[in-house]
Amino acid sequence: METPLSNHALIDSFEKANSAILKIKECQSQSEVDALMRSLLPFFGLESYVFVSLKREDPTEESCRFFIGCAPEWCQMYNARKWFAIDPSIQYALRNTSPMLGSAIKPESPGQMEMLSTAVEYGFRSGMVIPVHGGVKARIGLLYLGSSRPAPKVEPQLLRSKNLLRAVALELYEWWNATIQAEAIYGLRFNELDLQLLRMEYEGLTTAEAARELGLSQSQINNRFRRINAKLKVGSKKFAVEKAIELGVLRV
């Protein structure tokens, strides 16, 4: 099998890095995104990354998706030790939008200290964390970037490249959300009308208004919603919208 990395030219300039970042949205698979990220990271003096997508209202590990671009053992250990509940980077990301250097993250408990010192063993000795926020009810993204080299050797370049790294996080966030949405829509066999009806319900249109807008009868709208509700395993249009948002089908 052709190695995906061989498809990516050496990135040795800001222009090439920017060009690579813009290609993230064109990736057709997670493995393609991963290959692109691995070709991009060395330009910034980095070796590892993890991208997390989590729910704003429920920032516990139960609502998380992790895209692993580091030693696989690290994520397994992070999960097993439930470090998500105490991770200072997650706590930072829930309330902030600016990138933060790893050296600026100060542990405030023995548990956090243990977590951060273990992270060093798995390639996160220095680096940066970059939150990404979408709409009010949207999922939050958090990009962890790591290097095994000490902070003074890595972080000055990260600061100079902050805006470009922020663009990486934004592109990953958009790609990840689109992927979650596509999977959910495909899995539920929703068509364009289903999505339109959910959007209209979210925006507060009545059945009569939606029917007028779409050129359908009210009973056609209601029948359609019965099928939508059945697919989402809910009992009402209101809950259908909530479930659709939760699953990523409806992005708000």
CB atoms within 10 A of CB 47: 21
Question: Closest distance between other proteins and the C-beta of residue 204, in Å?
Answer: 17
Residue 133 vs 251, nearer CB to other proteins: 251
Question: Closest distance between other proteins and the C-beta of residue 72, in Å?
Answer: 4
Question: Closest distance between other proteins and the C-beta of residue 250, in Å?
Answer: 8
Residue 65 vs 137, nearer CB to other proteins: 65
Summarize as ranges the residues that interact with other proteins (CB under 8 A). Answer: 1-4, 7, 28-35, 60-69, 71-73, 75-77, 79-80, 178-179, 181-183, 185-186, 190-192, 195-196, 199
CB atoms within 10 A of CB 1: 3
Residue 43 vs 190, nearer CB to other proteins: 190
Amino acid at 132: V
The answer to whether residues 230 and 222 touch, using CB atoms and an 8 Å cutoff, is no
Closest CA to 45 of 155, 182, 129: 155
Residue 21 vs 200, nearer CB to other proteins: 200
Angstrom distance (rounded) from CA 128 to CA 97:
13
Establish how many alpha carbons lie within 13 A of residue 84's alpha carbon, considering only the half-sphere containing its beta carbon: 20
Angstrom distance (rounded) from CA 73 to CA 133:
28
The answer to whether residues 198 and 240 touch, using CB atoms and an 8 Å cutoff, is yes
Question: Closest distance between other proteins and the C-beta of residue 244, in Å?
Answer: 11
Residue 34 vs 155, nearer CB to other proteins: 34
Beta strands in 32-170 (DSSP E): 48-54, 64-69, 100-101, 126-133, 140-147
Residue 53 vs 207, nearer CB to other proteins: 53
Backbone angles phi, psi at 73, to 5 degrees: -65, -30
Residue 81 vs 162, nearer CB to other proteins: 81
Question: Closest distance between other proteins and the C-beta of residue 14, in Å?
Answer: 26
Question: Closest distance between other proteins and the C-beta of residue 191, in Å?
Answer: 6
Question: Closest distance between other proteins and the C-beta of residue 112, in Å?
Answer: 20
Q: Is 160 left (phi over 0), alpha (psi -120 to 50) or beta?
A: alpha
Q: Is 241 left (phi over 0), alpha (psi -120 to 50) or beta?
A: alpha
Angstrom distance (rounded) from CA 144 to CA 37:
12
